[in-house]
Every structure is written in structure tokens, then in C-alpha cells.
A and B are shown apart, each in its own frame.
Chain A
Amino acid sequence: MDSSRRKFLKIAGISAVAGIGAPSALNMLMKNEVRASSEGGGHGAQTDAHGGEGAHGAAPAPAGKRYGMVIDAVKFHDNNGLAEKCIEACHSYFNVPDFGNKKDEIKWLWQMPFANTFPGDESHYKKDDRTHSMQFMVLCNHCDNPPCVRACPTKATFKNADGIVMMDFHRCIGCRFCMAACPYGARSFNWRDPRGSKDGVPFIKKINHEFPTRMRGVVEKCSFCDLRVKRGLQPLCVEATAGTGAMVFGDLNDPNSEVSQVLRARFTIQRKPSLGTMPSVFYII
């Protein structure tokens, strides 16, 4: 009697292990096979596409758009009032309020000195006077690896198919995690009602009826003029610099775009590249 119970338990144990283990083992084998076969196909396809250039190790050429911008700080420095013109073009179209104090300031596009724009890039020796006196146009960097998007609990901020980091104001709950996550200070919070006024002066001087305002408790930032870019137009700030070449906007994935050509020809720097956010805004200094 005892021995048969022992036998029964043994068989039951073994079949339990087999029952649990076999499907997963089978699954693993299947997956490996699939991966191996797809890799073979992929290589073939790649060599076909590149005309047998031997680009085996290289990453495949990215498809789709990836918008970026080059800002020529020297041209902004030399053209008095150009920066203000850009900021006005942006802020007036997007109904960006001016609350009249630094603490509540809403910024889509603004200016900062070298030390604030590129912290850590100063040497302990003196910089040349020009760089010190220069103001740099700064805006949302529309990072490839945006920390704000990861921080947002409601997906109110997200990266769209063109690489533009977008805000869905409908969905923003005003938690300001994105502001803490953004290393560039590119996001602003509406502490007050943008439609309000102080001493009879409205915060939005003249409301543009083509674009909504925001409400109190919502975070806002530059959108790379997504709505214009989709229609084949340039962002408003770039349009305001037309003729000077102080700002160049375009598809970074397209090797023939103006922005790609400028990036190939000139030495540019990005803001805080060491953080790994991979910003899409480049500066010529």
C-alpha cells in the first residue's frame, strides 16, 4: 500500500512539472526560431535596400519625420530686436498671457544668457566678452527622449509621430510633474487665470480667435507650431526671422533638408546633451 502511494505521488509530481514546464519551453523554442528567421530576412532586406553597401551593423535609416531647429545665436546678437519680434509672433498667436511678474511668467520662447542656457559649459577662465553679453533664444527642445512625457501621469504630454512633444491641454491635471522632469525649464504653469486682468490690463493683450487660451491650473509650452508644420508652413518664430537665416527648421531625418545641411556644415551645440534627452534644438555660437 505504502509503495503504491509513493509511486502515485512521484508520477503526480513529474507530470505536474512537465505540464507547467513544457508549454513555456516550447514557447521559448518557437520564439527563438521566429527571431532567427526574421533576422535572416531583415539582413537580406537591408542589403537590398542599401544596394549591398555592407551596412550590416548599422542601424536602419529612420523612416518618418523628425523635426528639429538650428538657432544661430550670432545672427540674433547682430540683429537688434529680432528676438523680440520672434517672441511676439509666437506669444501673440498662441495667446500666451503676460502676468506681469517673473514668478508667474509663462514662456514658450524666451531669452537667456550663456551661463543659464549652457550651464556646465563655462570654463573657470574668462569667456570672451561677446559670448558673455549674448542672449540665447530658448524654447522646448522637443527631445528624442523626453523626460516630461515619462513623468506625465495622464499622457497629457506625449511625443507625436513627427517627434514633436505635444501638450493636450484638455487632459492636463496640473500636477506639474513634467515641469520637475524638464531639465530646460521649458514648461510653465498657469498659477492664475490667463483670461483675467490686473488693474484693468488683461493678461492676454489681444486674444487670437484662431487658438484657444488656457485655463488656470494647466501647464503649457512651445508646440513647434505643430498645427502650422502639418500644413507645410514654418513655425511662427522661424517665419519671423525670414531672410536672416537666424533660425532654420526642418526634418532632421531628411539628409537634404536645409536644417540637415546646416548641421553638416556648421559646428553646433545642444543644451545639456549629457542628460541623454537628445534635444532637437541646436545652437550656432
Chain B
Amino acid sequence: MYNKGTIIPGLIIFVGLMLFAVLWDGGGKVEAPKPEKPVGYKECVKPLQYMKESHMELLNVWRDEVLREGKREPIEVGGVMYEKSLQNGCMHCHTSKKKFCDTCHEYASVYPYCWDCHVAPQEDVALKEAR
């Protein structure tokens, strides 16, 4: 083998570098996010599993229905009326963006641009109203 002196140390350094991240911080258990559920509500507008997976699709459907088709009337689920709105619907029960939206979004490293325009509820005020 030619250049044994450089290749073998080179390989060792390369493999070391590649495994560095795993060895440094690997194996530890990452806590799954625990978004805070609203108090006093048992269910959401759709089953939990659907909301976990597809809430963004529901929001898009609501947006198109409300804005394009003018179907602004609230929807009824289990005897409770819900506004088809992120700001005035979802965030009416889920009063904290930080404790609900952000927990999962940060965990999954997604940064939706909802809040560039939509106004997140004021953490303290909304909580007071909810109680």
C-alpha cells in the first residue's frame, strides 16, 4: 500500500469526524413535546389524530371556505360552536401560542409563517379571559 502513513491516519480522522456528533450527543432520549391542552375542553373540531397530522390542511380549507366561498358561519362539534378562524377560533381555546403551537413546531423544526400576519393572543390577557 502506497502512502500508508497518510491514508490510515487520514481515514481515522475522517471516521472520527463523521462519528463525532453521534458520540458526543447520541443515544440520549429526546423528550417528545407536550403541548398544553386547553382547560375545560374534551375534544377539538376533528379527532385528535387528524389534528396532529393535518391541522395545517384544515386551516387551508377553512381559509378558502371563509375567504373565497364566503362560508363564514361557525361549525358545531359536540354541541360547541367554533369559529372557522385561526385567530378567533383555534386560539380562542388554545390561548397560548408558546405553550401550544411552538412546542411541536420547534421540536419538528418547522417554522410556519402564520404569525407573520396573524396576531398571536397576548399570553397573559388571553389566559385571564379563559379562566
Chain B contacts for A169, CB-based, 8 A: 117
Across chains A and B, the number of contacting residue pairs, with CB separation under 8 Å, is 40
- Report the bound CA distance from A214 to B121 in whole Å: 16
Report the nearest B residue to A164, measured CB to CB. Answer: B70
Contact B63 A170 (CB under 8 A): yes
Select which of B69, B87, B117 is within 8 A of A215 by beta carbon: B117
B side interface size, CB within 8 A = 15
- Report the bound CA distance from A211 to B72 in whole Å: 14
Select which of A161, A213, A230 is within 8 A of B117 by beta carbon: A213
- Report the bound CA distance from A95 to B116 in whole Å: 13
Interface string of B58-83 (1 = CB under 8 A from A): 00000100011110100000000000
**How far apart are B87's CB and chain A's nearest CB, in angstroms?**
6
Chain B contacts for A170, CB-based, 8 A: 63, 67
Chain A contacts for B118, CB-based, 8 A: 212
Let me know if A227 is at the binding interface, CB within 8 A: yes
Interface string of A143-168 (1 = CB under 8 A from B): 00000000000000010111000101
Contact B68 A160 (CB under 8 A): yes
Let me know if B122 is at the binding interface, CB within 8 A: yes
- Report the bound CA distance from A209 to B89 in whole Å: 12
Contact A166 B72 (CB under 8 A): no
Q: Which of B67, B72, B88, B113 has the most chain A CB atoms closer than 10 A to its own CB? A: B67
Interface string of A206-224 (1 = CB under 8 A from B): 0111111111001000000
Let me know if B56 is at the binding interface, CB within 8 A: no
Contact A212 B68 (CB under 8 A): no
- Knowing A169-B117, A213-B117 are in contact, say whether A230-B122 is a contact too (CB < 8 A): no
Chain A contacts for B87, CB-based, 8 A: 209-212
- Knowing A209-B87, A212-B87, A215-B117 are in contact, say whether A230-B70 is a contact too (CB < 8 A): yes
A-to-B contact residues, CB < 8 Å = 95, 158, 160-162, 166, 168-170, 207-215, 218, 226-227, 230-231
* Given contact pairs A170-B63, A212-B119, A218-B117, a sample of 9 additional A-B residue pairs in the complex whose CB atoms are under 8 Å apart: A160-B70, A169-B117, A212-B117, A212-B118, A215-B113, A215-B116, A215-B117, A230-B70, A230-B72
